Amino acid sequence: MIFVRRVMLIASIIAGLGWNACFADEPGVFRRPALMEASQILQLRAILYARNNQMDEALELGQQAVSVAPFSAKANYILAAIHAKRGEDDDCVTALKRAQELGFRDVTFLERDPDLASVRKHADFANLIAEAKKPYERPTPKPASLKLGVALVGPENAVWDESMNLVRTTFNWKGPNKTLVIIKEHGEVGRKLWKWYSEKTASGNYGDLYDNCDKDHSNLNYAQFPQIFRIEYQPEMGGDIPNGLQNRILHGGVVIGNSSTAIGAGPYWRSNPRSAYVKPSSMASLATQYFHNHLYVYPEHIDYDPGHNGKSSGFGDVYPANTPYLLISQGSSYTDQPFLDVLACMLAAFRPEVKKVLVERGWIAPTLQQIFRSNYQTVEKPDDYLTGVAHPTVFDGKLIDPLKMIEATHSMTIETIPPLVRIRVEKQDQAIVGTDYFEAGAYHENLFDTPCAIARIGRSTKYRRQMTVSARDSVDANKKPLRFAWVVLRGDESLIKIEPLDKSGSRAELTVAWHPRRKIHPESDMESNRVDIGVFAHNGSEWSAPAFVTWYFLDNEEREYDEQQRIRSVSYHGGTDPGNYTDPLIQTPKTWKDSYRYTEDGRLIGWTRNLPSQEPMQFTAEGKLVIEKDDKGRPLAAKSVVYIAQPGRSGTPILVQLSGDEIWRYTYESPDDQIGKIQSPRK
């Protein structure tokens, strides 16, 4: 039944993309990222079933993954591995040949993948190895011409890149004449840019692109920036033209862009950034754009307004993470305009030699973020840059200082280019679904991991969570030695511990305790359920743009901890009862209360679950449902439990528990033994 539900869910995703597009032999290049995302879901499910030796289900999902994305080498390779595990060697070889036609060239996988063990005796396997050793000529698009301020995008100058799941476009920058007009109007900002440009100390905007992704609803006033080429999409692309979050295309130039849109109604209402922040695949795309000179602006719409549950007009800060990959404007349509304008001015203000280095390294976006944040009006003194006032989730366009920002941009030299900070998790506490927290199988605590933003969801009932994070991958353009700062930007500092693990601070151990909802700072009327830790690199003269480690705690839970910081009880809301708003795409609401029991020496015995209109249920410390007790009330037998999502009344899923088929037996060494020993299950 669970398998059927998952297949139906994936089928609905595919249906939303269009049946003909999904199963055509050659889907259009601009459809491929979305189709690949759907295929990746199927691929992951197929792998899980194969690991559990449920090979019929694995084969069905593997075949669907290839049908959705027949252009994917990875999907064909996974199908080949499934065929091999089923002993279908000829089918495996056929799928491997198709994967190689699409660019698969990993000899090591062919030689060492244990799933392919039986196929290595196949008569065609030597030919597969020989083919894998040959270079693969990846499709390359023909650079499009730039004409009359327009960079026209269509299939002929675009190619899908499977390694990034992005479409790449290219343009012929040698073709058009460079206009001498750098900017129109803009008062003192315009006069400064004209002066610098005439002195040849400002680069201007030649090489810069503007990408509007809301069908010209909120356009940059590009007439005032004659050197910027605006991206236009061929009319015949129809529904493939980006509209909303732009996480599908990597354009061939320096890009600023926007979409002044949001999902304004229904249970999944959200701004474009929040659409990305709940999906690891989208975050990987945004990170790639960030490191390829792309920076987009989106309004928060109603994702960042004072209030709670829509009362007093807002919900507070409902973003589950903070990242440097975007700029988010306070408000709705057109509030992105001052951001676009200042970014265009900043790009024009860079010294030519500085901009050249930044473009070549892919550092334009991080450098723009560093300049923008350090010169935002709330940053009154240099030390403020290492505080939350410089790094809010959302920025107010009224607090932008264009003159100060272009002056800071123009003053930058090659020697003062800020470093680039990169972070990664080395180790972390692990939480177990069914005991530490209760969710449908696809949900876990890791929201996403990217080089400049790591996001976690605080699902576990443990009071404290710990992780070790490294910033050793950080780099400086001039190879200067770096030191690091790890700072609490948002959260209760008494509940957060940051312990540097080396002299430079390139590694740190982070300990974050459970946080209830709180004001983002004492004087603010904005509330949040998120902890933000900022990571910064310093090269002796400049701080980097931020990287973030964030923890988001769920607002529809009421928790009590005892004096030893052990969980005492959790009341979950929002399933069959009203509850505080929590994004349904990161949490499946439920309605029950768990009360926990411990031995005198502090070991967990289990918990009692109270559901509405039902008798209390007893659970063991391993999360099994007690079905038989002895005369002391100790479990003698318990059933396994599965948690799944089912449709709820509001149009979003709710979490329900189902009893499994396995029965576990408990034995006790003495009359005083409260924990007991668990024996292997039986059906």
For each successive 10 residues of the chain (683 residues), what is the average pLDDT? 38 39 64 94 93 94 96 97 96 97 94 94 95 90 90 93 95 79 96 97 96 96 95 88 94 97 94 97 97 98 95 90 98 97 98 98 98 98 97 98 98 98 97 94 90 98 97 98 98 97 97 97 93 98 98 98 97 95 95 97 96 95 96 94 89 91 92 89 68
DSSP one-letter string for 356-373: HHHHHHT-HHHHHHHHHH
Same domain, 548 and 579: no
Same domain, 125 and 172: no
Same domain, 548 and 585: no
Domain of 398 in residue numbering reads as 148-414
Same domain, 78 and 24: yes
Same domain, 342 and 438: no
Is 141 a member of any domain? no
Is 137 a member of any domain? no
Tokens matching residue 269: 């209402």
Is 583 a member of any domain? yes
Same domain, 410 and 327: yes
CATH code where residue 61 lies: 1.25.40.10
What pLDDT sits at residue 15? 38
What pLDDT sits at residue 1? 31
What pLDDT sits at residue 138? 84
- Measured N-to-C along each axis, helices 337-349 and 187-198 cross at an angle, to the nearest 10 degrees, of 20
Same domain, 476 and 538: yes
Return the ∠ at Cα 224 (arms to 218 and 230), rounded to 5°: 55
Diameter over CA atoms, the chain: 92
Contact partners, residue 12, CB within 8 Å, separation at least 6: none
φ/ψ of 515, rounded to 5, equals: -115, 125
Same domain, 547 and 562: no
What pLDDT sits at residue 275? 97
Domain boundary among 391, 414, 437: 414
φ/ψ of 154, rounded to 5, equals: -160, 180
Same domain, 58 and 171: no
Model confidence over 420-441: pLDDT tens digits?
A: 999 999 999 999 999 999 998 7
Same domain, 562 and 540: no
What pLDDT sits at residue 9? 40
What pLDDT sits at residue 633? 93
pTM higher than 0.85? yes
Same domain, 227 and 348: yes
What pLDDT sits at residue 4? 35
Is 419 a member of any domain? no
What pLDDT sits at residue 25? 55
Q: How far is CA 576 from CA 434, 563, 608, 657, in A?
A: 20, 32, 19, 13
Is 230 a member of any domain? yes
| Number of domains into which the chain is organized | 4
Same domain, 632 and 575: yes
Q: Report how far residue 169's alpha carbon sits from residue 36's, in angstroms, rounded to the nearest whole number.
A: 18
Helix residue ranges, H only, 375-443: 402-411
What pLDDT sits at residue 240? 86
